[in-house]
Chains A and B, each alone.
Chain A
Amino acid sequence: MTENKASEDKPPILGTWNKMYIVVLVAHFVIISLFILFTNLYA
C-alpha cells in the first residue's frame, strides 16, 4: 500500500479519523463517569 492511499483512507462515518478518535475517547470518558457514579451509588 502506498503512503498516498494510506492517507486517503476515510472512516465510514464522521468524515475524519480525528473525529472518530474523539468519539472513542469521549465514549471512554462517559463509561468511566458511569463507573464512578455506580461506585458512589453503592458505596
Chain B
Amino acid sequence: MHIVDWLVLIGTMLAIIGYGIYKTRKINNVKSYLLGDKDLPWWTIGLSIMATQASAITFLSTPGKAYEDGLGFAQFYFGLPVAMVILCIFILPVYYKLNVYTAYEYLEQRFDNRARMLTAFLFLIQRGLAAGITIFAPAIILSNIMKWDLNLTIILTGAVVILYTVLGGTKAVSVTQKQQMIIILIGMFIAAIIIVFKFPADLSFKDSLSLAGKMEKLQVVDFTFNLDKRYTFWSGMLGGVFLFLSYFGTDQSQVQRYLSGKSLSESRLGLLFNGIIKVPMQFLVLFVGVLVFMFFQFQRPPIHFNDANLIKVQQSEWASELDQLEKEFDIVFEDKMTSLDVLSAQIDSKDEAGIVQAKAAYELNLEKDLQIRSQVDSLIYKVDSDAILEDSDYVFITFIINYLPIGMIGLLLAVIFSAAMSSTASELNALATTTVIDIYKRNIKPEGTDQEYLRVSKIFTIAWGIIALSFAMMASLFDNLIEAVNIVGSIFYGTILGIFFVAFFFKKLTNSTRILSLFTMGLFLGIFSTSVLHSTFVETTFPMLYENDVPFVLLSMAIGGILGYWGSGTFFKPINGSSVIVGALIAQIIVIIIFTLDKFEFIDLSYLWLNLIGCVIVMFVSLLVQNFSSSPTLEKSGS
C-alpha cells in the first residue's frame, strides 16, 4: 500500500479516536459513563444507531452480495422504518418515564427480577458471541487481501476499540460513531462515482444500467410470497418489522444509543432519522456492488476473489491445472465481453428479438465462466478441505485495493475499520452496562459507591473486550461460525421480543393489546399455512392445494386475526413473571425445534420468520399459563 494511503488511514483513525477521547476526558461518574450525560442531539443519536448496526462486514459483504444476487437484499430493511415508528410510540416513552439504564431493568419493574435476569442473560450470550465475530469477520478478509497477520489485525482493531470505549464510555462510542458514519457515507459515495468513471469510454452510465437490468441485477422488489425465499417484500415488511423491533427495542447495544439522548424528543428524532436514511443507505451500498459487477464485465476479474486461496493452489501440485483454467478463463472473458457489446448494441436499437438472442449468447458464456470458477473451487478444496470457497466477501476489497486511486484506498480502508470499531464499541459498552447494572449492582453489590460502579464498569468493558478478542482469535477453528452466530441471534430475538411485548401490551387490556394480537396471530397462521401448503407432502398428495395456495393462506390469516382479536379480549388476564418465564422457555424450545426441522429440510422457512414465531408463542403460552395458573395476576382494568 502506498505511503499516502497509510497516512490517510492512520490519520483518519487517529483523528476520530483522538476526538472521542478529548470529548469525554471529564467523565467521572457512572451515569455519565453509561448514559453519556444524556446530552446527545438527535443527529448524533441517529448516526450512532446507524453506525452500531452497520458493521465492517456490512461494507465488505453487502457489495459482494449485490455482485452475485443484485439489489434484492435491500428488502431486508423494508420493515425498519415501521419498527422505528412503533418504538417511538410505545417503547421509548416507557424507558424515559422509568429512567432506566438498560432495557432489562424495565422487566423487573413490570414482572420480577427473574424475568430481568433471563432476558439479560439471553442478551449477554448472544451479543458476547456477536462481538467476537464483529472483530473477526473483517479481520480475516483484510488479513487475506492485505497479507497482514490475522491475529495482529484482530488485536490491533480490538485494542484500539477497547481503549477508547474504556476511557470514554457511552459518550465516546456515540461521538466517534458520528465521525465514523460521516466517513463511511462519504467514502461509499466517492467510491460509486469513481467506479462509474472507470467504465469503458463507450459505455454510458445509462447503458450500464440497461445491461445490468438485462442481467437481472437491478430487481429491488420481489412480491413473491414464498417462505423459503430469504429476501422478498413480505419477509422484509412483515418478518423484518419483528426483527427490527427486537433489535432496536430490546438489544442493549441499540437501546443504550438512544437512551443517551438529550430528551425524549431528541431520541425519537434520532430513531426516525434512522428510519428515513437507512433504506436508501443500504441501497447505495448494494448499488456500489452492482457497479463493481458492471466494472468487472469489462475488466477481467480474478478467477477467484480470495487471493489467499489461489496462492495455496499455486504452491501445490495442482498449480499447472490452475494455470490451464486461467487461460480458459481469459478466452471466456473475451467472449463474454463481445457478447455484452452485442447485447448493448441491441438494447440501443431496441430490437427485442436481437436482445433475446444476445442475452442467450451472454448467458452461455456466463455458464462457462461459472463452470471454470467451480473447477477452481474444486482445486482449492483438494489443497485445503477447510478453505472457505465462497469468495463474494472479497469482491469489494479486491476492487478497492487494485483499482481505486492512491488516497482513496486509505479512505475506504478507514471506512471498513470505522465500521468495525463503531459496532464493536457499542457491543462492548452494552455488554459492560448490562453486566454492571442488571447483574453486579442488582444481585451482587447493591450498596456500592458511584466510583466503585464506575471502576467496575471499566473493568467489565475490558473483560468483555478480552472475551471478544479471544473468541475472534479462536473463530477460525470453527466451521461456519458466522452462520452459527446469525442463527443464535435469530433464535433468541423472537423470544426476547415476545417477553417485551407481553410486558408492554399484556399489563391491562387495551385496544393496542387486541390489535397486536390480531396482527401477530394473523401473520402466524398465514406463515404456518404457507409452510404446510408448500411442503413436499402437500405438493405430491394435494397438488391442487399447492398450486392454488393464496386463498387458503388469506383465509388462515383472517381466521388467525379474528382468533387473536377475540381470544385476547375474552381470555385476557394481566400476565405475571412466572407465566412469562414459562412462555419464554416453551417458545425458545419450539423455535429451536422449528429451526432444526428447517435445517434438516423437513420444512422450508427463512430465518427472518423465526422472530415472529418466537414472539407469538411467548404471548400465546404466557396468556394460556396465566389462565390456568393459580398464581396472582396484576389488577385487571379495561380500556
Residues of chain A at the chain B interface (Cβ within 8 Å): 1-3, 5-7, 9-12, 17, 20-21, 24-25, 27-28, 31-32, 35-36, 38-39, 41-43
Contact = CB atoms under 8 A, between A and B. Distances in A.
Contact of A28 (B89, B212, B218, B279): B279
A38 B88 contact: no
Contacts of A42: 209-210, 212-213, 218
Contacts of A31: 279-280
Contacts of B84: 24
Contacts of B276: 24, 27-28
9 contacts: A6-B97, A11-B268, A21-B88, A21-B272, A28-B276, A38-B218, A38-B220, A39-B221, A43-B218
Interface in B276-300: 276, 279-280, 283
Given A38-B218, A39-B220, A42-B218, A32 B96 contact: no
A25 B85 contact: yes
Contacts of B218: 38-39, 42-43
A1 B97 contact: yes
A1 B218 CA distance: 48
Interface of B: 74, 78, 81-82, 84-85, 88-89, 93, 96-97, 99, 209-210, 212-213, 218-221, 263-265, 268-269, 272, 275-276, 279-280, 283
Given A3-B97, A24-B85, A9 B265 contact: yes
Interface centre among B89, B99, B219 (most CB of A within 10 A): B219
Nearest to A20: B272
A21 B97 contact: no
A7 B283 CA distance: 35
A30 B487 CA distance: 33
B265 A35 contact: no
Contacts of A2: 97
Contact of A12 (B78, B82, B269): B269
A25 B268 contact: no
A36 to B, nearest CB: 5
B93 A6 contact: yes
A6 B213 contact: no
Given A3-B97, A9-B265, 15 more contacts: A1-B97, A1-B263, A2-B97, A6-B96, A11-B269, A17-B88, A17-B89, A21-B85, A24-B272, A28-B78, A35-B74, A35-B221, A38-B218, A38-B220, A39-B220
A12 B265 contact: yes
Given A10-B265, A20-B272, A32 B97 contact: no
A32 B265 contact: no
Given A6-B264, A21-B89, A24-B84, A32 B269 contact: no
B100 to A, nearest CB: 11
B263 A9 contact: yes
A24 B219 contact: no
B275 A32 contact: no
Interface centre among A31, A42, A43 (most CB of B within 10 A): A42
Contacts of B97: 1-3, 6
Contacts of A41: 213
Given A10-B265, A25-B81, A42-B209, A36 B272 contact: no
A40 to B, nearest CB: 9
Given A9-B264, A35-B221, A1 B279 contact: no
Contacts of B275: 24, 28
B156 to A, nearest CB: 38
B209 A11 contact: no
A24 B268 CA distance: 12
B221 A36 contact: yes
B564 to A, nearest CB: 23
A13 B263 CA distance: 16
Contacts of A21: 85, 88-89, 272
A5 B226 CA distance: 46
Contact of B82 (A6, A9, A28, A36): A28
A-B CB proximity, top 7 nearest: A42-B213, A35-B220, A28-B81, A42-B218, A9-B265, A9-B264, A21-B85
A24 B18 CA distance: 35
A16 to B, nearest CB: 12
B241 to A, nearest CB: 12
Nearest to B264: A9
Contact of A43 (B81, B96, B219, B272): B219
A4 B351 CA distance: 67
